Structure formats: C-alpha cells, structure tokens
Chains A and B, each alone.
Chain A
Amino acid sequence: DQQVKQNSPSLSVQEGRISILNCDYTNSMFDYFLWYKKYPAEGPTFLISISSIKDKNEDGRFTVFLNKSAKHLSLHIVPSQPGDSAVYFCAALINFNKFYFGSGTKLNVKP
C-alpha cells in the first residue's frame, strides 16, 4: 500500500523554464511534506518542506504547493538550471517520526 505516489518517472525541461513535479498521497493524517533531491551515488538531500496546515512555502527558486482537498502537492522550480537535474523524491511525515517516500521523478534540465 503506497501512501505517497509520484506518477511521473521522468520529466524533461528546457533551461530557464519552470519545472513542476507532482506528488499524490492518500493519508490525511500526514503532518509534513518534504521534497528531497538525489544525485547519482549520493544520498537524498533535503530541499524544502511544508506543514500540513499551510498551502505554500517558498525558498528561492523552489516553491511547494499543497492542496489538501485533492491530497496533492507539487514542487515548482523557477527558473530551472542544468544543475537541478536529479531524481526528486516526495516524502510525507506522520507522527513526526515516520516518513513515507514516493518512487521519485527524474528531472532532466536541458541547456
């Protein structure tokens, strides 16, 4: 039973344009949602998070939107840069100590 889903295994975007990565979840009890970025041969790196009581959080080029009624969140990267090319994992946190991860979306930003 996968509680966090990323339905797009890959995404290709031109440098300078917007990248939108999507994530759906099933459990309305999640406390926080997070995005991680993973380069090959490295562990996931925390990128940005959002509390379940918020609907938007912004940090520089990265913005996460949360739509609780749709149980959907998205990560926007504007403008996209070639260095953003990586696998992005969506994660959800419950009881502040258990994480559920999506299967990842591989982003390719073309120069």
Chain B
Amino acid sequence: SAVISQKPSRDICQRGTSLTIQCQVDSQVTMMFWYRQQPGQSLTLIATANQGSEATYESGFVIDKFPISRPNLTFSTLTVSNMSPEDSSIYLCSVQRTGDTEAFFGQGTRLTVV
C-alpha cells in the first residue's frame, strides 16, 4: 500500500477565493489522480496529474478552474479557483503504482464554500 497525506482535511472558504490542496505520498508513484465526491454522488475523476507536464483533464473540468501541479513523483497540488457554493465537495487525491490494479486514497479534503 501507499501512505498518502492530504491537507487540509477540511476548510470553509469564501466564494471567489481559491484553495490549494496538497497531496504527499510516502514513495514514488507513477499515477496520481484527483477526484471530487459531491454529496450522495460517486467519485468523479477531475484529472490525472502528470509529472513534468500538464495534467490530463476529464470532460467537464478545465485547467483554469482546477490547476494542478506535480513537480515530482511524490507530490501534487490541486487548486480550486474562484470558488462558488457549487464547489462544496470532498476532494480526494489517489495514487496507483505501475502494475497495481488498486488505487490508494488520501483522507480527503472536505471543502465548504459560503
């Protein structure tokens, strides 16, 4: 398994501001992902964080709204920009090692936008 540290664990933010979520893994991993879980919904993939290049975004998610950095194989950040109440969700960092079928998750960031 992988130990994933995600912070902050929760935050309450004013609309129009931005929040950066950090994800630190205890070992090098090939794949890092960012998910969103809205209340009562499934986990929705926002993007795959690529080391040394731009993230790969899923349909419905754009870089201007969710800029992602991945400077090395153990660390990534997700920024939720210009927040609105609709961005209130749990945001989850996930990693997958080469050859593994399972993914591992951080503890999540519960974001409330007021």
Residues of A within 8 A of B (CB): 2, 4, 9, 31-32, 34, 36, 41-46, 49, 89, 93, 96-99, 101-104
Contacts and interface: CB of A to CB of B under 8 A. Distances in A.
Interface of B: 1, 4, 6, 9, 31, 33, 35, 40-45, 92, 94, 96, 101-108, 110
B43 A34 contact: no
A89 B43 contact: yes
A104 B38 CA distance: 12
Contact of B42 (A42, A43, A93, A104): A104
B105 A98 contact: no
A61 to B, nearest CB: 19
Contacts, number: 52
Given A41-B9, A41-B107, A43-B4, A96 B42 contact: no
B107 A49 contact: no
B6 A43 contact: yes
B105 A103 contact: no
Contacts of A45: 105
Contact of A43 (B40, B101, B105): B105
Given A36-B105, A46-B102, A101-B44, 7 more contacts: A2-B42, A4-B42, A32-B101, A43-B4, A43-B107, A99-B43, A103-B41
A43 B102 contact: no
A2 to B, nearest CB: 7
Contacts of B107: 41-43
A41 B8 CA distance: 12
A107 to B, nearest CB: 16
A46 B103 CA distance: 7
13 contacts: A36-B105, A41-B107, A43-B92, A43-B106, A43-B108, A44-B43, A44-B105, A89-B43, A97-B31, A98-B45, A99-B94, A101-B35, A101-B42
B101 A93 contact: yes
